[in-house]
A = this chain, B = another copy of it.
Amino acid sequence: MGPKNLSEQLLHDIGLEIVQGNLSPGEILPKVETLSEMKGVSRTVVREALKGLTARRLVESSTRVGTVVREKNEWLWWDPDIISWASRSNDSRNFLLQLSEVRLAIEPAAVRLAARNATDEDILLIKKSYERLENSLGDEEEWARADFEFHDSILLASRNVLMISLVKTLHNGLVQSRQTTIKVLKKYQEKNNHGKTEDALLMHKAVMEAICSRDEALAYEKMLHLLLSVVQLIEDLEASK
């Protein structure tokens, strides 16, 4: 799944350096020809990589001046690559915190939107996804897949492509962020969770029922409740580290 050509590789190289802070806002990148020599690639490749950085507004190029790193608040943070790079940075802990803050704000709202906009077919799919979740109580692997499908079916029901895109990028970032920060703790989770998965199932059920009865406020509340329990779980795990 990594970069498939030289320009994408270089894009990731430089992008990572910028987001991680090795290259600070205001700094000027080496000129194209120099970068070409440094990295052992042609100028074409360098220029294409810079276009990728420009698209994400990490840099801005102009004649004579060169290519300068833009201010952090100008970056397009809602880009899977930038999020991926940030979650591997030194203060990835702080970044994960910010991701979680946004999650608690957005996801209940997304579920509320689903309760409002869901078509009958959407409802049917959600119910089906929940049943699969129910049937996977024992199996960790199957639960993870079913859980993903469940949340995906709800998200789809929001019928709002902006919200769908937003939450998907958010989820992606959380997974990436956890892979680098927690990682090992999953084993603890496997041990301790066998008692708790039933609670989790009940919370999922509450969300499902609220959406199906098109109760926006309740759907919001139940989703928030579910997320807070996840946060609690993570905090418990870290405390017992």
Contacts and interface: CB of A to CB of B under 8 A. Distances in A.
A101 B75 CA distance: 24
B99 A105 contact: no
Nearest to A43: B44
Interface string A34-60: 000000000010011001101110000
Q: How many copies are assembled?
A: 2
B76 A101 contact: no
Contacts of A55: 51-52, 55-56, 79
28 contacts: A44-B44, A44-B47, A47-B48, A48-B48, A48-B51, A51-B55, A52-B52, A52-B55, A72-B161, A73-B165, A75-B165, A76-B78, A77-B162, A77-B165, A77-B166, A78-B78, A78-B169, A79-B79, A98-B162, A99-B162, A101-B160, A101-B162, A102-B163, A105-B109, A105-B110, A105-B112, A106-B106, A106-B109
